[in-house]
């Protein structure tokens, strides 16, 4: 089907675009073009990348109590 024919079918079925207006052939073309681009991105191979990331957690409640600060929770 041509883009205009698809837009006509969508309008006849009562569908509206995201702005709440009737579809035009250009809308249909844009939607399909974006979908094809997203599918192409999903098909790409992405090699794993390892880093030397590390994380350290510190419980500040214990650390602060050593200096005379107390938790505000009661």
Q: Rounded to whole angstroms, what are the CA distances from 5 to 10, 11, 21, 70?
A: 9, 10, 17, 71
Give the N- to C-terminal CA distance of the chain in Å, as an integer: 69
Q: How far apart are CA 32 and CA 2, in angstroms?
A: 12
Q: Spell out the per-residue pLDDT of the chain, length 74, in tens.
A: 799 999 999 999 999 998 999 999 999 999 999 999 999 999 988 888 888 888 888 777 765 666 666 656 55
pTM, entire model: 0.54
């Amino acid at each position: 089907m041509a883009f205009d024919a698809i837009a006509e079918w969508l309008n006849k079925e009562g569908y509206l675009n995201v702005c709440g207006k009737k579809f035009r052939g250009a809308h249909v073309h844009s939607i399909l073009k974006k979908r094809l681009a997203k599918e192409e991105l999903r098909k790409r191979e992405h090699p794993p990348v390892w880093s030397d990331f590390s994380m350290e957690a510190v419980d500040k409640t214990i650390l602060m109590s050593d200096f005379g600060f107390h938790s505000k929770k009661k």
